[in-house]
Amino acid sequence: MKTFPQSDALQRLPEQFFSKLVKKVQKVKEQHDDVINLGQGNPDQPTPRPIVQTLQEAADNPLYHKYPPFDGYAFLKEAVSDYYKREYDVEIDPKTEVAVLAGTKTGLVEISQCLLNKGDTVLVPDPGYPDYWSGIALAGANMHEMPLRAELGFHPNFAEIGDATWEKAKLMFLNYPNNPTGAVATPSLFEEAIQLGTKHNVCVVHDFAYGAIGFDGKKPLSFLQMPGAKEVGVEMLTLSKTYNMAGWRVGFVVGNRSVIEAVELIQDHYYCSLFGGIQEAAAFALNSDQSSVVQLVDMYEKRRKALVEAALRIGWMVEAPKGSFFAWFPVPVGYTSESFADLLLEQARVVVAPGVGFGTHGEGYVRIGLLSDESLLREAMERIGALQVFSRLVK
């Protein structure tokens, strides 16, 4: 059979680090049936029943059996606008400041293709979500990493970015609550990003995937709550985490009109929006009383408490995440993030994600998901404790 070479764009794509992890996990699972997987980012709870029922009923609507509008139904964009007004007191024009996405993973890749030319520079958080890299690679642009360090609350230090880099930069990605560190944004962080984006003509893209998940009674900030945000950037939010709708593939990009126009233009050439029934269910979710979201965040907070307390009991000196459904724990002395993850998989049969998979500055940490019940989180920590890699706390 003839083999056809892949395009240069595909050749530029970064290696998928986590595919290697999946293969390692699968190999252990073939030999053991008690693996606890804390390395995933896939919500473990079902979509709330009223949202599912809305889809089931909407599927009978003959209108939705036809092609939807290329840029999505107006009622869904209006629901996004109402959501931002209700939750963040932000005014959004549903006609010009909202684009419907087939999940924000798609949008995060698309936006680089919308705004970048070959050789442009993009400012990316390190550690950060690997799909930022994919869109940049497809566009033929260059990455400039912004290290996220614990001593700065896992916020970038913009002062470290030189004038020459700012002049080449066209795009900046931010993500709070942060994957993988669990850090949250402050007003000063967003204000500085807006100021620098305005000064250097850099579009700021805020990935707000975990926007609903904040702890200790604190609601995470929306980038669009900051004055001037829409002038210089956009925010992407997804229903995947907020409503356990990961498999539904529905999200939005909201903000700067020129960016919204560019996203809708490229999507006109990729696909014809989402099935109308899904759009109706998504609008229902956004317009609902949000009680399911309150319950979901409460569940994650209880899991966070169980995980951190169990980790401290085995001598693992960790800090609780402030948002998202991830914890970012340091590896013990003498291990890399990957060698420690391998140890836990092979000897404790506990899966964690090595920090280096999120960038070079992720070295020294592992990411743990709060996506298993409290008893499994405690058991995982007990198994790790049995390895005696940490000194136990004195009672």
- Residues 119 and 201 grouped into a single domain: yes
- Residues 329 and 367 grouped into a single domain: yes
The separation between the first and the last C-alpha atoms of the chain, rounded to the nearest angstrom, is: 67
- Residues 251 and 337 grouped into a single domain: no
- Residues 226 and 346 grouped into a single domain: no
The amino acid sitting at 318 is V
pTM: 0.95
Choose one of 265, 287, 309: the last residue of a domain.
Answer: 287
Residue-wise pLDDT for 242-279, tens only, equals 999 999 999 999 999 999 999 999 999 998 899 999 99
Q: 272 lies in a domain?
A: yes
Residue-wise pLDDT for 190-220, tens only, equals 999 999 999 999 999 999 999 999 999 999 9
Q: How far apart are CA 221 and CA 237, in angstroms?
A: 12
CA dihedral 163, 167, 168, 170 (to 10 degrees): 120
Residue-wise pLDDT for 51-98, tens only, equals 999 999 999 999 999 999 999 999 999 999 999 999 999 999 999 999
Token reading at 116 = 């970048």
Residue 369, pLDDT above cutoff 90:
yes
What is the residue range of 81's domain? 49-287
Sign of torsion over alpha carbons 249, 18, 147, 197: negative
- Give the total number of structural domains in the chain: 2
CA distances from 345 to 192, 334, 341, 387 (A): 41, 17, 6, 12
As a whole number, the mean pLDDT across the chain is: 94
Choose one of 243, 261, 287: the last residue of a domain.
Answer: 287
**DSSP category for residue 35:** -
Q: 27 lies in a domain?
A: yes
**Over residues 41-46, mean pLDDT:** 91
Predicted pLDDT of residue 381: 97
CATH number at residue 332: 3.90.1150.10
Predicted pLDDT of residue 246: 93
Predicted pLDDT of residue 391: 67
The kind and range of the H/E element at 100 are: strand 98-101
